[in-house]
C-alpha cells in the first residue's frame, strides 16, 4: 500500500462509527465514504452516484456479469447470450460459465488475434445475427497477462445501435493508461484497490444509473440496493487516496514504465535469445506500459518462476493449476500459441517502485535460470515439440 493510503487506512480504521448508522460517529464515517466516492468518481471520469463500492475486482466482475444478465433477462426473457472475449480474467469468465450452468445463459467467446486483441468484426457479425438474444457484452480494457489494450470504444460503437450494455474490466488499465468512464461509453466498469497502491479487498463497479443491474448480495440495501453489506470505511478511504495519487502520477509514470519495459524486453532478448515476446509490439502503443510477457522454449513457466524468485526476481506465469498440475494459460491458447510453448510463459509487471536495477538483476539471472529450467524440462519430458 502507498504510504499515504496506509496512513488514511489507519486513521479511518480508528473511527468507531458505522457508515450506515445515524448517530454522529456514523454520520462522520458516512461523510468519509461519500468524500471517497467523489474522489474515486473524479479519478475515473464518472459521477459519484455511479460508484458502487465492492470487495474488489472479483466481486465487481461477478456483480457485472450476473447483475447485468439478470437485469436484462428480467426485461426480456429472450436475452440469454453473454458475449465475452476469450482472454478475460477468470473473474469474468467463471461467473459467465456459472450462469450457463445455473441460469440458462449461452456464452459466446469472442476470438482474439495473435496479439490478444478482440476481433470486433466477429462481434459485429454476432450482433447482426443475434442482437435480440444478447444480454450483455464484456471486454476487458487491458489484458492482465500480455498487456493488450482492447478496442473498448469500438466494442461500444458496435453495441450501441442495439442498446446492448457493455462491461469492461479495467483492473489492469487504471493507473497505467488513461481511463475515463464517461468518455469510454461503457455501461459498467470494474476497478480494484490493490492494483493502484490501495488495499486488497476493496474496489468498485462503476455503473451508469440507467443500467439494469440486479443485486448479487442481498441484505441491508447499501450501495443503491445492489451491494448490501456494511461498508469498509478504512479500505474505501485508502482506496480513494491511492487511486487519486496513482492517476495524478500517470503522466510521469507511464512514459517512465514504458522506457523501462522497453529496456527489459531488449535485455531479456539478449540474455535469452530463444525467448519470444507475446502480445502487441511495445512500439505499437497497444500494450500496457508496465507489461512484458515472454515464452521460453523448452522451459516450464513454474520452474522459471521459482528459479527467478530465488535470484530475487518476482514474476508470474499467468497460468492456473488444476489438481496441482500447471495448465497453459487460456489467454495464450486463445492467441494461437501452441500448448507446449504456452507452458513456458512468464509475465513481468513493472510498477511505481520498479527500477533499472530490478531489470539488470533479471537480465543477470536469466541465462542460468533458463538453462536450468530447460534441463528440468528435458528430465521431466515436458519439452517443446512434445519430446518424450
Ligand X SMILES: Cc1ncc(COP(=O)(O)O)c(C=O)c1O
- Any idea which residues carry the catalytic annotation? 321
| Measured distance CA(381)–CA(383) in Å, rounded | 6
- Residue 199 makes contact with ligand X by CB under 6 A: no
User: Which residue lies nearest ligand X, judged by its C-beta?
Assistant: 57
**How many residues interact with ligand X (rule CB under 6 A)?**
14
C-alpha cell at 142: 487491458
The 3 state secondary structure assigned to 109-171 is: EECECCCCCECHHHHHHHHHHHHHHEEEEECCCECCCCCEECCHHHHHHHHHHHCCCEEEECC
Q: Which is nearer to ligand X, 58 or 176 (CB)?
A: 58
| Measured distance CA(274)–CA(190) in Å, rounded | 37
Binding mask 80-99 for ligand X (x = CB under 6 A): ---------x-x--------
- Residue 36 makes contact with ligand X by CB under 6 A: no
Binding mask 111-140 for ligand X (x = CB under 6 A): -----------------------------x
Of 29-37, 51-59, 100-108, 315-323, the window that binds ligand X (rule: CB under 6 A) is 51-59
Specify whether the CB–CB gap between 44 and 174 falls below 8 A: yes
Residue selected from 44, 52, 105, 171 as contacting ligand X according to rule CB under 6 A = 171
Looking up cell 469500438 gives 154
| Measured distance CA(205)–CA(83) in Å, rounded | 19
In angstroms, what is the minimal distance from the CB of 90 to ligand X?
8
| Measured distance CA(86)–CA(69) in Å, rounded | 18
- Residue 169 makes contact with ligand X by CB under 6 A: yes
Q: Which is nearer to ligand X, 58 or 150 (CB)?
A: 58
Handedness of CA 65, 280, 319, 342 (dihedral sign): positive
Specify whether the CB–CB gap between 235 and 19 falls below 8 A: no
- Residue 58 makes contact with ligand X by CB under 6 A: yes
Of 12-20, 52-60, 205-213, 235-243, the window that binds ligand X (rule: CB under 6 A) is 52-60
Binding residues for ligand X, rule: CB under 6 A, are 56-58, 61, 89, 91, 140, 144, 169, 171-172, 192, 194, 203
Amino acid at each position: 500500500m502507498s504510504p499515504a493510503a496506509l496512513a488514511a487506512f489507519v486513521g479511518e480504521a480508528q473511527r468507531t462509527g458505522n457508515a450506515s448508522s445515524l448517530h454522529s460517529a456514523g454520520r462522520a464515517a458516512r461523510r468519509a465514504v461519500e468524500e471517497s466516492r467523489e474522489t474515486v468518481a473524479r479519478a475515473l471520469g464518472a459521477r459519484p452516484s455511479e460508484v458502487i463500492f465492492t470487495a474488489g475486482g472479483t466481486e465487481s466482475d461477478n456483480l457485472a456479469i450476473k447483475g447485468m444478465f439478470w437485469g436484462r433477462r428480467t426485461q426480456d426473457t429472450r436475452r440469454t447470450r453473454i458475449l465475452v472475449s476469450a482472454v478475460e480474467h477468470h473473474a469474468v469468465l467463471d461467473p459467465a460459465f456459472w450462469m450457463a450452468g445455473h441460469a440458462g445463459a449461452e456464452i459466446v467467446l469472442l476470438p482474439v488475434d495473435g496479439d490478444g486483441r478482440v476481433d470486433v468484426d466477429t462481434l459485429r457479425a454476432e450482433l447482426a445475427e443475434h442482437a435480440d438474444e444478447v444480454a450483455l457484452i464484456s471486454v476487458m480494457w487491458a489484458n492482465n497477462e500480455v498487456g493488450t489494450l482492447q478496442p473498448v470504444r469500438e466494442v461500444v460503437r458496435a453495441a450501441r445501435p442495439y442498446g446492448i450494455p457493455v462491461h469492461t474490466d479495467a483492473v489492469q488499465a487504471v493507473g497505467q493508461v488513461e481511463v475515463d468512464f464517461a468518455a469510454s461509453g461503457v455501461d459498467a466498469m470494474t476497478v480494484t484497490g490493490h492494483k493502484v497502491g490501495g488495499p486488497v479487498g476493496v474496489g468498485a463497479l462503476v455503473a451508469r444509473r440507467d443500467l439494469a443491474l440486479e443485486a448479487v448480495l442481498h441484505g441491508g440495501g447499501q450501495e443503491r440496493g445492489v451491494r448490501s453489506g456494511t461498508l469498509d470505511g478504512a479500505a474505501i478511504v485508502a482506496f480513494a487516496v491511492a487511486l487519486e495519487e496513482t492517476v495524478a502520477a500517470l503522466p510521469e509514470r507511464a512514459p517512465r514504465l514504458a522506457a523501462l519495459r522497453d529496456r527489459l524486453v531488449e535485455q531479456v532478448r539478449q540474455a535469452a535469445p530463444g525467448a519470444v515476446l507475446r502480445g502487441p509490439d511495445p512500439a505499437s502503443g497497444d500494450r500496457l506500459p508496465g507489461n512484458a510477457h515472454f515464452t521460453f522454449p523448452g522451459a516450464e513457466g513454474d520452474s522459471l518462476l521459482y528459479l527467478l524468485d530465488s535470484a530475487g526476481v518476482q514474476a508470474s506465469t499467468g497460468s492456473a493449476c488444476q489438481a496441482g498440475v500447471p495448465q497453459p494459460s487460456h489467454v495464450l491458447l486463445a492467441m494461437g500459441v501452441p500448448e507446449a510453448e504456452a507452458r513456458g510463459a512468464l509475465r513481468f509487471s513493472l510498477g511505481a517502485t520498479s527500477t533499472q536495477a530490478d531489470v539488470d538483476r533479471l537480465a543477470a539471472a536469466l541465462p542460468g535460470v533458463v538453462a536450468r529450467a530447460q534441463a528440468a524440462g528435458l528430465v521431466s519430458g515436458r519439452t517443446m515439440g512434445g519430446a518424450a
